[in-house]
Structure formats: C-alpha cells, structure tokens
Structure 1
C-alpha cells in the first residue's frame, strides 16, 4: 500500500495479537521453547495427550477479554448509545495513513449500520505515535467532542483520505475548521488548551502503550482485538458475532 498520505511504516503487532493476550502469550512461549539453539539436537515432540487436548479446548473456550471500555456518559470522544450491546475501542493517530484508509473505507458503513442503529458504541482513543502534530490533533478532537462534534472533527481530518499532515492548524485554519464542523471557535481553542484535555489525551496514549499497541489503527471489539485497517467484512463479522452472542 504505497499512497502519498501513507505514514512511515511502524512495527506491527504480531499476528497472534488478534487473539486475546493470554492465548497469544502462551503461543509465544511455546514457540520460543521449540526453537532450537545452534548445536542442539531436535527431537520429535510427543503427541499431545487427550487430557492436554481437552485442556487446550477449555482454555480456548474461556478466553479472557481485554477490558478497556469505559462506558462513560461524559466521554467526549465516544459516539453511540452508552448501553449499546457492542463497544469498539479504537486506537488511532490522526497522522496515520492506514487510519485514514479505514475511516474512508469501513467507518461510514459501521456508523450507519451499527452506531446509528444503537447496536455499537465507538470509544475513540486518539494517540500520538507521530509527534506533536498528533497531540494537537487529539487535543482538538477532545475539544470538539466537548461540544458534541467529535465525529465531525474526525471525519473532517480524514476527509478524502487526508490526515492531520494535510491539516491547517494555524489560528486561521482552526477558525475555519471550527466553522466547518459547527462548533464555537473560542471554546474549541480554550478546551483544546486545557489541562483536562491534555491529561485525557496522555491517558489514552499511555493506555495504548501499556496494552502493547505498536501500530495504528488497533481495535478492541467487546474485549477482542483486531489489528490494522482490515476490510469492512472483518468488522461486520466481529460485531455480528458479538450481537448474536
């Protein structure tokens, strides 16, 4: 995917991160134990016993969820009903080209089909992998959210596949942006500069770091991770499974 707005390549999460963390760690440990060092002889691994196989099935059936959803009625960067049966926590960076791709190709249908129908709540956690411009974007996003216009800000920054790299965050640019998304300009600037906003943005970034998120976008759907700008069908299937459960 080589597009003009694409962000520099970031280390991606291992493929097994699409499974709950305890299972991923277990697989990693097993793989690590089975890689021989130079000079070691490689013996055939014994076949698993019925008891071991049953234990693996039970572990799979009781996979632990990653509990990061907040369900806070005052969360300025969440959209959708607070009591929606499915919550999708979204770790994203406004300078991330893959985030823009997901926002253009998958998000509109997700919002229309699930958020607007009261089936899904999206809790956006905008983080700062790409520096100060990402921080400023995230703070402006929180400020827009305090006026009930988070999604409008998000859509404006990612419009037509653009990112915050293309945004004009000069004084006049922010004033025009406020007009575009329908918020009070002076309040937007004041809220973006507040300590409360800065603390929330830092909290979201630190949370992603503590979870081991190393690439954006990353999603947690009712506790189950999905990594990357996957096709729309991946999200539809994951959400439908949770709704059916």
Structure 2
C-alpha cells in the first residue's frame, strides 16, 4: 500500500533547482510549465544525521494544539493515490477524535516522487501558508485528486484552488512564479531520504516520551487509534 513509482524523482530532488513559472494567470500567457534544472551536486560528508528536526522541520505548520502530547508526521505526495486514500478514509477520523481534542498534532512534509505537478502542488501549499491557509490548500488539493500525472494539478488548476480557498491570488501567484519555497521542498525531500523512505504515504508517530513509531502506507484508522491510545497511557 506504499506508493513507489517514479522513485528517480525522489532520488534526485536534493540536487535540483526548482524554477516554477505558471500559466493561466490573467496577466500572463504562453509561459512554459515548471522547469527542473540541474545544479552542482555536493558530496555529503558521511551519512545524513537524523534528529528530531528531521521530523519537525521543513514541513507544514502544526495542525492542532502545539502542546499536544503526540505528534503525527506524514510524508506525502499530493499526486499519490494512497495518500489520497488516507486523506479520505482515515485522516478525518484522526482529526475529529485526536487532533480536535488536543491529543495529537499533525505535520505534513513533502516527498515528491511522482512528477513535476507534485512539486508545483507542494509549492502551492507553501505559498498558501504565507497567508495562513496551508491546511485549507492541502485539503483542496486532495479533494480534487483524480490520478497521477493527468493534469489535475496543472498550474491553471492550482490557481483556481487558490481562488477557491480565498487566497490573495496576486500575492500567491508572485510567490509561485518566484519559487520562494523551493528550498523547504528540497529540504523536506532530503529528510525523507535520510529516513530511508521509498514511497508515500509514510507516517511517524512521536509519543510523549519521544519514542517513534513508523507506519507505511494508507493504514486504517484502527491502526493509528491503537498506537495513539498506547502512547497516551505512558
């Protein structure tokens, strides 16, 4: 139940420069879509170090009570089929029973393994975050999912989603065109690889004592419930 295609994209994401140019804006026409250009690759000195920042940094704003005893971190790709399954079949129950009750806080991190539209969608969410609407944009992306690399996350649709969630479209568009959040997307993908992830969705549950449980794939609600309840008893 783990999405694993197009892993080459995930393997090289840290060594790319994202240049995002959008079409469909009222004032802009006949512009190219996203372009991925190679940048010089620096050989790291030794293995990547995993710290708590690997889970908490380079992602979304916290959803829920920032002091919640449990943290749920999801690494996802907005075009991923099973990420979409998790959103529709499991996430809403987690929000209702654990996030809204102050027991769990959520963080979403990018792991772009499917295609350029995945990167653009991630950037759209981060640009929405500049206006305090990350999770609204995150939700509208998954609510409009229709498949992988079939155009639903193309630039003109991302612009429409920005309008639908009430963003200042001019500000959001400038953020997208300038690629202002490319580095956080690259860093999040680096974090995913440092954790040896090869597919999406992948989850990490960080308990009150700092113990971390790893889950792969669109697990049912009962799986998360069991882990949360066990952690809350500690």
Asked if Structure 1 and Structure 2 have the same fold, meaning a TM-score greater than 0.5 normalized by the shorter chain, the answer is: yes
The separation in 1 between residues aligned to 2:202 and 2:85, in whole angstroms, is: 13
Give the corresponding residue for 2:186: 202
Is the 1:100–1:162 contact (alpha carbons within 8 Å) kept by the matching residues of 2?
Answer: no
8 Å CA contact retained: 1:69, 1:89: yes
Change (3 A) 1:132 1:168: closer
Shift of 1:141: 1.1
Note if 1:99 corresponds to 2:88: no
- How much does 1:162 deviate? 3.4
* 2:225 pairs with 1:236: yes
Offset of residue 158 of structure 1:
1.3
Number of residues of Structure 1 aligned to a counterpart in Structure 2: 185
1:137 and 2:137 equivalent?
no
2:16 alignment partner in structure 1: none
Distance 2:184 2:196 in 1: 19
Bigger Rg over Cα: 1
1:175 match: 159
**Equivalences for residues 57-206 of structure 1 within 5 A:** 67=52, 68-70=54-56, 76-159=60-143, 162=146, 165=149, 167-171=152-156, 173-194=157-178, 196-206=180-190
Q: Deviations over 1:142-191 (max 9, x none)?
A: 111222222211221111663574525334x3332112112111222223
With normalisation by structure 1, the TM-score equals 0.67
Q: 1:204 to 1:168 in 2, by over 3 A?
A: closer
Deviation at 1:98, TM superposition (A): 0.5
Query: What do the CA deviations read for 1:17-49 (whole angstroms, capped 9, x no partner)?
Result: xxxxxxxxxxxxxxxxxxxxxxxxxxxxxxxxx
Residue 213, structure 1, aligned to residue 197, structure 2: yes
Structure 2: runs of 5 or more not aligned: 8-49, 207-211
- Looking at structure 2, the residues matched to 155 and 199 of structure 1 have their Cα atoms a distance apart, in angstroms, of 22
